Each structure stands twice: as C-alpha cells, then as structure tokens.
Amino acid sequence: MSGQPGVHPYRREVELTVATRLGLDFLFLVAAFCLARGALLEELFPFGPAAVITAAVRRSRLLWPVALISMAGSWFSSPAPAYSRLLLFLLLGLIFTLYPGLRRGSILTQATLAPVTIILVRGLSLTLWQPSFYGWVQVIFEALLAWGLSLAFLEATMTTRQEERLLGGGLFLAGVLLGLQGWQLFGLSLQGLISRYILLLASLAGGPGTGAAAGAAVGFLPSLSQVVTPALAGLLAFAGLIAGSLKSLGKPGVVSGFLLAHLLLASYFLGQDSALAALKEGGLVALALAATPSFLINYLQRFLAAPVTMPAVQEGHGRQERLKTALKSLARSLKFTGFKESPMVTVRQVARATCRGCPAGKVCWELEGEQMVTLLQELLQKGSHGSLTTADIPEWLSSRCGRCRELLAALTGEASKMQVRPPEDGLNNWLAATFEALAAMLVNGGPNTGAGVGAGEELPLWQVTVGTAAAPRYQAEVSGDTCLAGLLEPGRQLLVLGDGMGAGREAAETSATAIELVRDLLAAGFTPEMALRTINMILLLRSPKESFTTCDLALINCGTGTAEFYKLGACPTFIQRDGQVKTLSSHSLPAGILEDLQVEPLREELQDGDLLVMVSDGILEAHRDINEKERWLAKALQRVGDARPQEIADRLLKQARALVDGKPRDDMTVIVARMERNGV
C-alpha cells in the first residue's frame, strides 16, 4: 500500500472542571510573578515579557491579570525597581487589547513584540535619563533573549514534538526558579528545595540519564543570576545520576541514592555546615516526593520517554513480502483468541510499559522488530499457562536488555488478562500454524499467489478525494464503527466501513480487527471475495461468544473508473451524479454469523464528478420514520453542490445529529468520495 491508511476511532476530548481551571490559572499567575522577578546576571529580565505575550496569545482572559502580577513581581524584584519595566508590561497589555487580531497572527510576529517593546520603552528611558553604550548593549541583549523565550514558550504550547515541548517547558521552569532567588522556607533556600524536588522527579521518571541532566541544569541556575562558581552543577548532576540508577527500587531507592551522593559530595566540597543544610533539604524533598501521587509520575514517564515504534512493512517490499505479513497477521489473530485486545495492541502495551526511553530500543524495535513481536507473543501465550522467569528470555535479548525484570512484570500483567481458552480452539491453533508455515515458505521466495489483482496497470486517469466524519452514540466514549481509506497498489482506491456488534470498545475492537485484516489481505493480493470469507471465518473462530461486524467495501479502479462494491450486512451506498442519487444495496448477512458466506459484488461505472457516500446505520436511522431513512439522505445529497468531500461528510453528520436532537441512538460514520479525472 502506498501510505499508511489509518483506522480512525472517535475520541472524546477531556473536559476540565471549573475548579481545575481555576487552579491552573492560579498556578500560572504565581509562575508569572516569579518569571517577572527572574534575572540573568542580576541585570537582565527577559522572562516577564515572554510570559505576558504567551498569556495574551494562549490565555487571552488572563492577559491583564498576568500583566498586573508581572508588574508586581517586577516591583519587588530589587530595592530600586525600574519604572520602565512597569511601563513595558502595561504597553504589552494595551497592544493586545487594542489589536486582538495579533492573537491570530504568526508566532514569529507575536514573539517579535517582545524585543520591539523592550527597545522602545527601555531604550527611550535609557536615552532620557542615563545614556550609555553599555546600557544599550544590555537593552539589546535583553530584547533578543525575550524574543527567543517568547518563541520557545509559544511553540511549546501548541507543538506535538517532544523536543520542543521539553525546551519550552525547561526554559519556563528555569525562569520560575530564577524568580525564587532569595526566598527561604524554614531557613532553607526555596529555590534549592524546588530544584532538588525536580531532580528527584526526573530521576524517578526518566532514570540516570535524565536525573544527571536535571541535576546539571538546576545546579547551574544560581550562577545565571549571580556571579558565582557553578560547583553545585557537578554535585547535583552526580546526585541525579546515582538517584536515577536506583529507579528500579522506586521512591525509597531514588531518595536513598540522592541523599548518599549529595551528603558525600557536600561534606567534601562545601564543608560541614553545607552538609547539614543538604540533609535538611533532602529530608524535606524526600517527604514531598513520597506525597507525590503516582499518576503525576506516570505522566512524567510518558512525557520524557520517546515513543516506541512498532515494525512496519517498508514501501519497497514486493507482493510476497506483503503476503507474508498478511499471513502472520492472520496467525496472530487466531493465537490471541483469549485476549481482549488485538495482538499488536497487546504487544504495544508491553513495549510502552517497558521499552520507553531504553537506549537499546532502536536495536530491538527498528532492527529486530519482527523478531521482538514474535518473542513477546510467545511469552504472552506461555505466561497465560504459568509464571514467567528470567530463563524464559532468550540469550540474544537478555544479554543486552537491562530491564528484564520490568519486561517480565509487564508480560505477566498482560497475560493475567487472558480469558480461559475453550478446548475446541484447537482448530484455531491448527489454522494459525498453517498460516505461519505459509509465511515461512515465502521468506525464501515462492510463486506469486496474489490472485485477484485487478487491472489498472496503466497510468491512473482518475483521482479520488475522500472525507470522513464520525460520532459515537449518546454518552459513549468510543465508537463501534471503524472506517478506513487508502490507495492500494497499483492504482486502486480502497474504502471500507465496518460496524461492530453492539457499541463501545468491544464493538470497536471487532470492527477494527476485521477492517485491518481486509486491508492487509487486499494489499497482499487476495481477491475481495477471498478476503471477506477469510474475515468471516476469523470472526467465527476467534471468540467463543457471538461476534460479528458489518463490512461495506468499495474498490475503485483509478485506471478505468470502474468500482466494485461488497456489502456484508451494510447500509446502501449512495452515488450522486448531476443532482440525481442512485442507491446500491445488498441483503447479505454481516461477517461472523454463518460459515457459508455469500459474497456478490455490485459493479458500477463511475463518471467525472460522481459523489460516492457510504454510511453506517446510525446515520440512516436518525430519521424517526422508517420509510424516510434513505430518502432524507438522498435529498440532502441533492443539495451538496460542488462542496469538498470533507465538508459534505461534516454536513451530513451534523444533519443526522440534529435529527436526533444531538443524542444519537447508535454510532454514526460517514465516508464521502468524489471522482475527478486527472488532466492528461
């Protein structure tokens, strides 16, 4: 397949409560106060303007509270506050208030306001009262720093790239810590306490490397605000390294390693008094770490760790390689009849819990990914019948894996979720072994068994534009429908829509499994009839209880413009042409009910501008009158005009939801495709 067509489940957005929003707003205001006080070398204050610009763009309702709290922080930053800094924050607030369109501008334009206002206000004040060359160098340097910080803060609030989020969040946290300079709690430095707490969190969440990096960063902070020797950076870096090395022992191990390394080096380099202060600080941060909820630590582990990528078939592989992958996929589905999740989902959960951030992850999952998947599945099957030990891990993996204990724990946890396998599932094992044997035969090459590859070898004359829209039934978190759109090679457009039995996660898992297997089998060269019959048999065998799904499949030849439609219990397909709507329907049963499945294709010659619409039954049944369930959609298609497929899909879904007053009784999914002739 060209590209990686995805399965698009519906996801409900997390809604924050009013109390949570107020708490986050309060924390941001406290951070803004500290950022306005944060100074570099006791003379440069670039963090405050960046915080005001970030609030104006990302939290517009907090613009003036942040501006005023920043003015207060600037006022208390030194015995002789600079009135030009107060005017600077006031000017930024007025600019965003008078020109709200700036919030919709580019990040570069928004960030540039920081150096412009600093040079304007601070430069004018310098020119009028204390003109000097050094003063202008200081103003320009502060303006450039504020510009870079504004870019980092704004980018971190909207990017999905982990590196940029870490950079922006780290600079934001550094500014807050610099703003705590001089504050004390129980006679101890508040900046030092929070710095060491951050070090312990980083060591517990990320391990020795992250702990050492965090220690070096927070230890270097005092030398940024004052001209002092940065000896503390090396001390805390070593303490973070030791604490992170004991991560496997949990919070007690991390705290013990930190205190041991910190007290040893503090007494040796900084003297007895500093060692006593370090003991007090370590005790307080240890109590704070013990009180830290586990969900926060788990979130930091996911945030700091690089994602684990599962192996995928590369684009350059031929049909035999894709056929081997499809056969292995079938074997895994049959082997995992006792698990609630699909084989790849289960393996991915084990890898996510164990391999994130591991230095050997690139070797395991990129160079030996297929071997790792096979091994983990075999261990899961073995773990479902008894406990796993380190002897079960082969030498080629145990020799380089430093997380064997965590791997066994994750495998045992997933294996414990396995349901009891009925004795008649021996047929499943036989079919799985047959598929695996066929896949092994293809490793060394074999005949081209990809029957059913349609015509279309010539240069494609047609282009298909696709749009999708979906919504779950009322008060459901996950839609039981699954849709997929992708381009098969050579020159065939695939559209598939499945509706699993029932609703929720179980229905979604059933339909997703069927649709993904259809995609893999067609890509390997199976005919649609063979692929659908195979899916039907898989659903019959993979679960002891009734499990079925509808399957609506459209296969468009982009070379000739012909389309084949295969329907297993699916709703009619609608074809709109020149204002007229044609329906294609079939009375076949869903997949997974009867062993003898009748698959009869419907063929249609498509024309330039034709609109093809596939829907689940939640869309049609939105109309209360059963006689109007197809007619209302046909009338709606007559009025769509030349709108883009995505706009049409969104519009149809909106109309269907309106018919049920926003409370769908069933999952709703729409696929809209438009045929367009390529210019030749």
What are the structural domain ranges in the chain? 17-179, 184-305, 319-423, 462-677
Alpha-helical runs (H) found in 61-189: 63-75, 83-98, 107-129, 133-156, 162-179
pLDDT value at position 545? 63
Length reported for the chain: 680
Give the pLDDT of residue 552. 93
- The Cα–Cα gap between 54 and 271 comes to 43
* 612 touches 673 (CB < 8 A): yes
What pLDDT sits at residue 648?
A: 92
Tokens of 514: 């069927």
Q: How distant is the alpha carbon of residue 595 from its chain centre? A: 39
Using alpha carbons, select from 147, 285, 302 the residue that is nearest to residue 218: 285
* pLDDT value at residue 424: 45
| Confidence (pLDDT) at 345 | 66
3 state DSSP class of 491: coil
- Rounded to 10 degrees, the C-alpha dihedral 435/439/440/441 comes to 100
Spatial distance between the Cα atoms of 353 and 364, rounded to a whole number of angstroms: 15
- Predicted TM-score (pTM) of the model is 0.48
CA dist., res. 518 & res. 500, Å (int):
14
Tokens of 567: 């329907």
pLDDT the model gives residue 273: 62
Hey, which CATH number is domain 462-677, 3.40.50.300, 3.40.120.10, 3.20.20.70, 3.60.40.10?
3.60.40.10
Which pLDDT belongs to residue 603? 92
Say if residues 272 and 258 touch (Cβ distance below 8 Å): no
Question: If phi over 0 gives left and psi between -120 and 50 gives alpha, with beta otherwise, what is residue 14?
Answer: beta
CA distance 218 to 260: 19
How do strand 611-615 and strand 668-677 relate by DSSP bridges?
Answer: antiparallel
* pLDDT of res. 604: 92
Q: Which residue ranges in the chain fall short of pLDDT 70? A: 1-17, 78-82, 159-163, 225-232, 265-278, 302-321, 323-324, 328-345, 356-357, 359, 362, 366, 384-385, 417-459, 490, 503, 542-546, 679-680
Find residue 488's DSSP bridge partners.
492
Mean pLDDT of the chain: 77
Apex 187 CA angle, 181 and 188, nearest 5: 55
Quote the CA–CA distance of 217 and 561 in Å, as a whole number.
Answer: 61
Query: How far apart, in Å, do the first and last CA atoms of the chain sit?
Result: 24
Torsion 420-424-429-435 (CA) sign: negative
Task: Identify the H or E element spanning 660.
Answer: none
Tokens 């929720």: give the residue: 504
* DSSP at 40: B
Q: How far is residue 281's CA from residue 174's CA, in Å, rounded to a whole number?
A: 19
Distances (CA, A) of 226 to 178, 270, 679: 10, 18, 67
